A and B are shown apart, each in its own frame.
Chain A
Amino acid sequence: MRFLKLLPLLMFLGISAQAQSPTYGVGRTPSTEEIRAWDISISPTGEELPSGSGTAAEGEQLYLQKGCAGCHGITGTGGLAPRLLKRDAGPSANPWALGRILPIRAPYATAVWDYINRGMPLMAEGTLTPDEVYSITAYLLYLNEVIAEDKVLTAESLPKVEMPNRDTWAPLPEWWEPGMPRLPGYPY
């Protein structure tokens, strides 16, 4: 499927020899260190995760120390910033009923780690160490009853965490191509 999607691109690259080598020669090649320093993306499979580890107990301490509680509330709710504690929707609830709350709706725990790492805490973004991000992620997942209190999160274990919304979301359409209506069979 992915190959089919790329087919037009491959064909284009195939017939245009110029496209395979730089046309303009503008811009420079970044060093491996530069790329590593800039690249904070974390995929759902977690290959970019740095080594490190953390637990909910450590995360609970950090949640207070780093000021998370000041905006998000002591228990992940009641602050000015978005709520971090799932809503009470009953034991058998569809995960979507628990609210648009990152540590419960995110289909992958890597998305929780990534956002804390890149965007928190307010005014000191990017200052948390990998261990601290693993710990705060563990605390928020424990708070939302996704992982056990003693679970140790690492680069290996984090992508394997089974989020309740893992398989209940709809991916963007694989069939879409430029010039197509947004949904075949839908006249509007």
Chain B
Amino acid sequence: MTKEHKEKSTGSKSPDRREFLKRGAALAGGLSLGTVESAIGQTPPSGGNILGTPELVGYGKRSRFETSVRIPHGGRPSPDAFGLDFHIAAPLQESVGVITPSSLHYMGTTRGSFVPDIDPEEHRLMIHGMVDRPLIFTMEELRRLPSVTRLHFIECAGNRANRRHKTVQETHGMTSCAEWTGVLLSTLLKEAGVQDDGSWIVAEGVEEVKGASSIPMAKAMEDCLVCYGMNGEAVRPQQGYPLRLLVPGFEGILSVKWLRRIKVVDQFYMTYNDYGHLRQESDDAALAMQIGPKSVITFPSGEQKLPGPGFYEISGLAWSGGGAVSKVEVSTDSGRSWVEAEIRGTAHPMAHTRFSLQWDWNGQECELQSRCTDELGSVQPSRAQIAEFWNQPPDQPVRVRGQDNSIQPWRVESDGSVHNAIS
């Protein structure tokens, strides 16, 4: 038995438990005997066994050897001195596949928010304003309506890489992707009957600041979801339990959490959320709304270390607010030449898409980059291309306008260490 198991067993007083532990010990003894005599070469697990508990039977948890965690993003603590959560970044460097586990999904709030503790029995969604039939729904009623399940990323407008960032969690951790289940917003709006002048909606949450965002009606009717499900279970409290709006491909602040009210209106409402994301120039405003084609290599990425020359699978995530990813290219020579990467799985519209490239590292210093093309034909730009397009002075830091979808360079040193190569 391991030390941990012994400590646990001395803490237990229940006869049933003692009996169970005795049998467990006998089993463990049998196993260790087996390691000596077994003809088939079985060895015990390196860390011993995980003792079953009612909690683990009820709701499982990851191995204690998995330590990947989220971190506060952007220099402001979460939780802060008031207990408010602000921005929390997902550990993309350890991600595999395209789903961000709900516990690791990035989180953002506007001013910093408490996470409300909402009884779903008490929760209501109201739709009103410029509609023929104002409606109020219980959670149970929403679940009766036709549902959809879709993979979508959500990305914060604050997901902007800079040269001071060290890891991909710092450069790109304010994006995540989950499987979302709910009712199409258009289903609810049609049920209420949008009037001719209804050109915007204002969506509002139930948290203490009642965070609200204005969304154009064309988007609201297109593909927005009112979600109660996330990755096969209820939406997590930090993600808006019991109900959140999802505005696919648009900046994350529009995907209002703890959704309680949708008002159909005839103008942009300039809410506090809206005000916080105002832009001075119309090009910036346009580039800030829908997220452009974007990708990042998650392995090898900043602060990781390759043990030596040889074979590696370069792996990363690509996504676009303009639809599905159609192509990802990888460069191992600072963007001079590009090789098309393989898409792993299906590229879903407005969803993280895993790509990979087989690579034999020769042990020499090099720079890795990835470049996404989306179904609209838009291509992820390098920072130099952005500067050139907008005629920015070459001697000044590049200003990425709107949402930052610039190419992320990682420099691999000859000792195998990997560093952010944004200059």
Contacts and interface: CB of A to CB of B under 8 A. Distances in A.
Interface in B126-181: 126, 128, 133-137, 141, 144-146
B272 A102 contact: yes
B282 A188 contact: no
Residue of B128, B221, B261 most packed against chain A (CB within 10 A): B128
B59 interface: no
Contact of A5 (B126, B218, B269): B218
B145 A26 contact: yes
A34 B261 contact: no
Interface residues of A, number: 65
A171 B380 contact: no
A170 B284 contact: yes
B48 interface: no
A88 interface: no
A115 B223 CA distance: 29
A67 interface: no
Given A96-B280, A181-B378, A182-B321, A125 B208 contact: yes
Contact of A28 (B128, B136, B293, B381): B136
B279 interface: yes
Interface string A141-173: 000000000000000000000000100111111
Contacts of B389: 186-188
B111 interface: yes
A178 B136 CA distance: 28
B378 A35 contact: no
B402 A182 contact: yes
B279 A169 contact: yes
Given A40-B210, A107-B278, A170-B279, A183 B135 contact: no
A188 B265 contact: no
B275 A35 contact: no
A43 B202 CA distance: 10
Interface in A86-140: 96, 100, 102, 105-108, 110-111, 114-115, 118-119, 122-123, 125-126
A45 B267 contact: yes
A99 to B, nearest CB: 12
A24 B282 contact: no
Contacts of B323: 179
Interface string B262-304: 0101111111101110111111111101111100000000000
Interface of B: 80-82, 111, 126, 128, 133-137, 141, 144-146, 187, 190-191, 193-194, 196-199, 202, 204, 208-210, 212, 216-219, 221-223, 260-261, 263, 265-272, 274-276, 278-287, 289-293, 321-323, 376-381, 385-386, 389, 402, 405
Given A9-B217, A38-B260, A170-B280, 6 more contacts: A2-B199, A8-B218, A26-B145, A27-B141, A39-B128, A178-B219
5 contacts: A28-B135, A125-B210, A170-B282, A170-B285, A173-B286
3 nearest interchain CB pairs?
Answer: A119-B209, A188-B381, A170-B285
